[in-house]
Chain A
Amino acid sequence: EAGVTQFPSHSVIEKGQTVTLRCDPISGHDNLYWYRRVMGKEIKFLLHFVKESKQDESGMPNNRFLAERTGGTYSTLKVQPAELEDSGVYFCASSPTGSRRNTIYFGEGSWLTVV
């Protein structure tokens, strides 16, 4: 069974440019999460989808970040325009519905460098 996959694995862009990160959750997982770790700091929650709906987006830092989940399948996280402080690793995770305390499964991360 394929795990959570993220694309691109690494991206280097200039300040002011746009980057779109993609996450494909494990097939059948309704829950999809985005987290990020910037500048070696703690890993922070960004948002949570249940199918195509945003269940909780309290962690989104500002309106330069836009997350979507088309048809409740894959998700994209767009950063526009990117700033230097956005550099870090963006993790996607998924878990099945109704899972009481199931572990969520993380992808390998998308490493973003803004120069």
Chain B
Amino acid sequence: SQQGEEDPQALSIQEGENATMNCSYKTSINNLQWYRQNSGRGLVHLILIRSNEREKHSGRLRVTLDTSKKSSSLLITASRAADTASYFCATDTDNYGQNFVFGPGTRLSVLP
């Protein structure tokens, strides 16, 4: 069964608006990470949040983690056209294994 599931599957917003994407997972995790994939390009790591953390910031990104609800959110503030991409959450369940389980992703379109 799928570990991470993002919603919405697709999101269109205007430049300057904020974008929020959510990720839910099923089993206990050690860490949750968010990645971005631009069309035709590879995966870029955005941010890692550990299971004992509740919120983390990196530039225009804010990630929250609620382990009681097994969910995470990624907020991109003041979005730009260059933020257009697919965003994936990835979870792992043990300290040294790095076999992440990815969700299906959210396709974000930021319109100029």
A48 CB contacts on chain B under 8 angstroms: 98-99
- Of A11-19, A36-44, A61-69, A76-84, the one with at least 4 CB within 8 A of chain B: A36-44
A102 CB contacts on chain B under 8 angstroms: 98
Given A42-B102, A42-B105, answer yes or no on A101-B48 (Cβ-Cβ < 8 Å). Answer: yes
Q: In the complex, A44 Cα to B90 Cα: how many Å?
A: 10
A95 vs chain B, min Cβ distance (A): 6
A101 CB contacts on chain B under 8 angstroms: 30-31, 48, 50, 95
> A46 — nearest CB in chain B belongs to which residue?
B99
User: Is there an interface contact between A107 and B99, defined as CB atoms closer than 8 Å?
Assistant: no
Q: How many A-B residue pairs have CB under 8 A?
A: 57
B45 contacts A by Cβ under 8 Å: yes
B25 contacts A by Cβ under 8 Å: no
**13 additional contacts (CB under 8 A) given A59-B99, A102-B98:** A35-B102, A41-B104, A42-B88, A42-B104, A43-B102, A44-B102, A91-B42, A95-B98, A103-B33, A103-B48, A105-B45, A106-B42, A106-B44
